[in-house]
Structures are given as structure tokens and as C-alpha cells.
Amino acid sequence: MKKFLENIFNLKKKIIIISGGAGFLGSEFSFALSSVGAIPIIIDQNAKALVSLKKKFKKKKIRGDFYQVDLCNEKKVNKIIELIIKKYKHIDCLVNAAAFTGQELQNKKSDFFEKFENYNFNVWQKSLSGNLSSNFIITKSVSKYMLKKKSGSIINIASDVGIISPDHRIYEENKKINYKGVDFNTPLSYSVSKSGIISMTRYLATYWAKFGIRVNCISPAGVYKKQDKKFVEQLSDRIPLGRMARKNEFNGAIIYLCSSASSFVTGHNLVIDGGRTIW
């Protein structure tokens, strides 16, 4: 049984591209996949984060490859994928972890978290581009090589708020419980883009099924990042397991969906939310 499990989860020397691989969750996926023998190819547009992650890989003496590119620039993405193919000859898996959360806009002049009635159209477009269009671009580029090989696994990262609406009350002031609220929220652009990821997953799963390419996604719940204590309490009260997710709790799903353990799984949205969406 042990040997059987080792074989079906074996990712040794598998070439796995992770878009947004230097990000909060992407870096977790990078280390997890490396730990089971895969060769993670990290593509990110954040040069500083890439350099930092590369140093960590070097310190741990683990193998990885790193490329900086604007994930919304199709020509540049295509060139990077061509370089990867030239070096490794094929691509086994693609994990789309790239996301636009407005981090670069979180300042005093930020309107990423503005009310819908006043929402800036340019910010809306940037959010859709970063969360959805970037995934479209790199998936399109990688798929050409997977089609030639007639095999591959693509994993998209959606969200629980791509399935349900965010509970707006967790961001708002509530004097009854002495909660001042927080200065952020989940904008419509984020929810819409994550719903789009789920739809794209299902579409491509049926479109490429006969070519041996599987396409799945995972929908995580909120991940703990030292948020406001009262906010954490508010969100945790809406999750049956009673807490937010830990950043490493999606690694098992990524390994599973990349491996042959999920060989008959496609078009699936694996919800990892502590039960939030069942309430």
C-alpha cells in the first residue's frame, strides 16, 4: 500500500509552472511541489518577491526556476513559455495562482475597496485582468504544448466568494459587539473574477478532455494573515470549523490534482473552506 501511494502521488521531475508562484499562496505551492520531487517553474511579475523566493530556494538547496514577466502581456508570456519548453522540452502541470488583490493600491488614495456605487472602472478592469485575464493568457500559451503531448493537468485558484457572496457584515462596524469594522472588503471585481475562474475551468475541462488534459480548480476560504482580531472572530463564526485557513492547508489539494491520484478528476471545483459554503 505504501508503494502504491508513493506511485500515484509521485511528481518526481515533473515540470510544473506556477503563475504568481512568488505570492502568498504561490510560494507555499512552490515549496510543497518541490518537496515531493517536482521542478517548480515560478513565474511572477513581482521582481522583489521572486528574488526573495529564489534566495529561500537556494538556502534550502532545492531546485526551481524563476521568471519575471507581466502576466497580462501575452507576447512576453509566450516568450517565457517558449524558453521553458526549450529548456525542459515539455510542461506537465500548470498552477494558476496569480491574483490581483489591490495590494499595490492599498494606500491613502486607494479606491480598490471603494463602495460599488463609486467604484472606479479602471480599478475594475485591473482586477479582472489580474485575476482572470492573466490566467487566460498563460493557460492559452501552455495548452499548445500540452496538446502536442496529449497530457497535462491545469489547476486554477478560485475562491469561496466565487461561489457565494461575501458576507458584507464582517467588514462593517457593529457597536453591539464593540466591533469597529475594517478598512477593507471583498470588491465585486474579485468575486466576479473568481466566478469566472470556475466557469473557465469547467469550459476547458470539457473542451480538452479528449486530448488528455485535465482542468480543475480549488476554492479556498479566507486565509489567516494576522488580520484584525475582531475581523478574524467575525469570519471564524461563519465557518463550521471555527477558524480561518492556514496558508499551508491547500498544498495537499495541489499535489493531488497535479498527480495521477486525480487521473479521473476534471472540471471539478474543490472547495476548501472549513465548511463555510454549506451554511
Number of compact structural domains in the chain:
1
- How does pLDDT run along the chain (279 residues), one tens digit per residue? 666 666 789 999 999 999 999 999 999 999 999 999 999 999 999 999 999 999 999 999 999 999 999 999 999 999 999 999 999 999 999 999 998 875 655 554 568 899 999 999 999 999 999 999 999 999 999 999 999 999 999 999 999 999 999 999 999 999 999 999 999 999 999 999 999 999 999 999 999 999 999 999 999 999 999 999 999 999 999 999 999 999 999 999 999 999 999 999 999 999 999 999 999
Cell numbers that stand for 250 in this block:
491547500
Q: What angle do the packed helices 74-88 and 134-149 form, to 10 degrees?
A: 30
What secondary structure, in 3-state letters, does the chain show? Answer: CHHHHHHHCCCCCCEEEEECCCCHHHHHHHHHHHHCCCEEEEEECCHHHHHHHHHHHHHHCCCCEEEECCCCCHHHHHHHHHHHHHHHCCCCEEEECCCCCCHHHCCCCCCCCCCHHHCCHHHHHHHHHHHHHHHHHHHHHHHHHHHHHCCEEEEEECCHHHCCCCCHHHCCCEHHHCECCCCCCCCHHHHHHHHHHHHHHHHHHHHHHHHCEEEEEEEECCECCCCCHHHHHHHHCCCCCCCCECCCCCHHHHHHHHCHHHCCCCCCEEEECCCHHHC
Task: List b or e across 191-226, with b for residues whose CB sees 16 or more CB atoms inside 10 angstroms.
Answer: bbbbbbbbebbbebbeebeeeebbbbbbbbbbbeee
Residue-level pLDDT at 109:
59
Strand partners, 9: none
pLDDT at 3: 65
Q: Exposed (0-12), middle (13-18) or buried (19+): which is 50, by Cβ within 10 Å? A: buried
Owning domain of residue 210? 2-278
Identify the CATH number of the domain in which residue 227 sits. Answer: 3.40.50.720
Kindly report the number of other CB atoms within 10 A of residue 171's CB atom.
18
pLDDT for position 108:
46
Q: What's the pLDDT score for residue 26? A: 97
**Residue 19 pLDDT:** 98
Residues 6+ apart with CB under 8 A from 231: 170, 171, 182
